């Protein structure tokens, strides 16, 4: 019997700007909400392997091994749904796919057409493509419905931590994809100082004063409506990864 450990793969969603940041080599971290959230006075959380208690014939016994976070007093534990270091994540992103696989074969030159077109490759394309691709029998696929075969990015987890989202450092904000921009139009006659954004801006009005604020702004755009805003300061998984070539 082989001693090799199977590498587990799980899907993960990324927005177009964050896909571009990964492709550019700028993004090597992502933060995701811990669910369920620990109680407010949970204290220090540690990350690693643990054995949750289970009841066997009326007695408590150690259960199957899990990887996740737990409190020092043992009263709280949660499995990391994204995996552990060494596991892989395949990226789901939005794009266009032919409604019928054989549809392309009926059109002249179709053998050179891609089988999937990624929104992230051209930020301005979705508005133009809505009519163009629909006309040619293509269907827009939200990231949640992207098939595994169409995924072009596989990430290997290299580190897993837990922390409150507001504990993110400047360095980690940059690893999340925050960038400084000094060569974009500035409508203010005296300038506005440092210019940071998680996406490529068209004006300094779309920028913030430091990398942490830029990350916080994007965090809120995704998580505030779910009840996990920057101000509520939720616990998050901090996943560091590398792209698998």
Are 85 and 186 in the same domain?
yes
| 209 or 137, higher pLDDT | 209
Q: Please tell me whether residue 17 adopts helix, strand or coil conformation.
A: helix
Are 193 and 219 in the same domain?
yes
Residue 174, Cβ density class (10 Å: 0-12 exposed, 13-18 middle, ≥19 buried) = buried
* CA pair distance 121, 16, nearest whole angstrom: 8
Neighbouring residues of 236: CB distance < 8 A, sequence distance ≥ 6 = 31, 32, 33, 34, 162, 163, 164, 165
146: in domain: no
Are 188 and 89 in the same domain?
yes
pLDDT score for 1? 46
Are 43 and 126 in the same domain?
no
Q: Give the CATH number for residue 201.
A: 2.30.130.30
Are 175 and 76 in the same domain?
no
Are 114 and 134 in the same domain?
yes
174: in domain: yes
pLDDT digits (tens, 9 = 90+) for 172-189: 999 999 999 887 666 665
Number of domains in the chain: 3
Question: Which range in 7-11, 118-122, 135-139, 159-163 is most confidently predicted, on average pLDDT?
Answer: 159-163
Are 7 and 123 in the same domain?
no
Determine the average pLDDT of the residues in 122-128: 59
In three-state form (DSSP H/G/I as H, E/B as E, the rest C), the secondary structure along 208-244 is ECCHHHHHHHHHHHHHHHHCCCCCCCCEEEEEEEEEC
| Angle subtended at Cα 15 by Cα 10 and Cα 20, rounded to the nearest 5 degrees | 100
The mean-pLDDT minimum among 16-20, 196-200, 219-223 falls in: 196-200
Are 88 and 198 in the same domain?
yes
Are 87 and 190 in the same domain?
yes
Q: Please tell me whether residue 98 adopts helix, strand or coil conformation.
A: strand
* CA pair distance 183, 189, nearest whole angstrom: 15
144: in domain: no
165: in domain: yes
43: alpha, beta or left? (left if phi > 0; alpha if psi -120 to 50): left
- In degrees rounded to 5, what are phi and psi of residue 185? -55, 135
145: in domain: no
Are 117 and 60 in the same domain?
no
Residue 67 sits in which domain range? 36-80
Mean model confidence pLDDT for the chain: 85
104: in domain: yes
Are 101 and 176 in the same domain?
no
225: in domain: yes
DSSP secondary structure letter of residue 177? T
Are 75 and 85 in the same domain?
no
64: in domain: yes
């Amino acid at each position: 019997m082989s001693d090799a450990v199977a590498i587990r793969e799980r899907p993960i969603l990324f927005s177009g700007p964050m896909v571009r940041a990964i492709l550019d080599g700028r993004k090597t971290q992502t933060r995701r909400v811990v669910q369920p959230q620990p109680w407010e006075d949970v204290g220090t959380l540690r990350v690693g392997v643990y054995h949750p208690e289970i009841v066997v014939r009326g007695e408590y016994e150690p259960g199957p091994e899990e990887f996740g976070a737990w409190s020092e007093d043992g009263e709280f534990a949660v499995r990391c749904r994204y995996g552990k270091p060494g596991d892989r994540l395949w990226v789901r992103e939005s794009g266009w796919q032919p409604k019928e696989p054989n549809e392309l074969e009926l059109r002249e030159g179709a053998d050179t057409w891609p089988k999937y077109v990624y929104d992230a490759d051209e930020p301005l394309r979705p508005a133009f493509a809505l009519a163009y691709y629909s006309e040619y029998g293509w269907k827009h696929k939200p990231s949640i419905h992207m098939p595994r075969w169409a995924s072009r990015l596989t990430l290997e987890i290299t580190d897993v931590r837990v922390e409150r989202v507001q504990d993110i450092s400047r360095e980690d904000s940059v690893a999340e994809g925050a960038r400084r921009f000094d060569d974009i139009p500035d409508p203010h006659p005296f300038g506005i100082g440092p210019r940071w954004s998680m996406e490529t801006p068209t004006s300094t009005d779309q920028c913030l004063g430091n990398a942490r604020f830029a990350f916080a702004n994007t965090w809120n755009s995704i998580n505030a409506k779910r009840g996990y805003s920057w101000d509520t300061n939720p616990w998050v998984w901090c996943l560091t990864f590398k792209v698998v070539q």
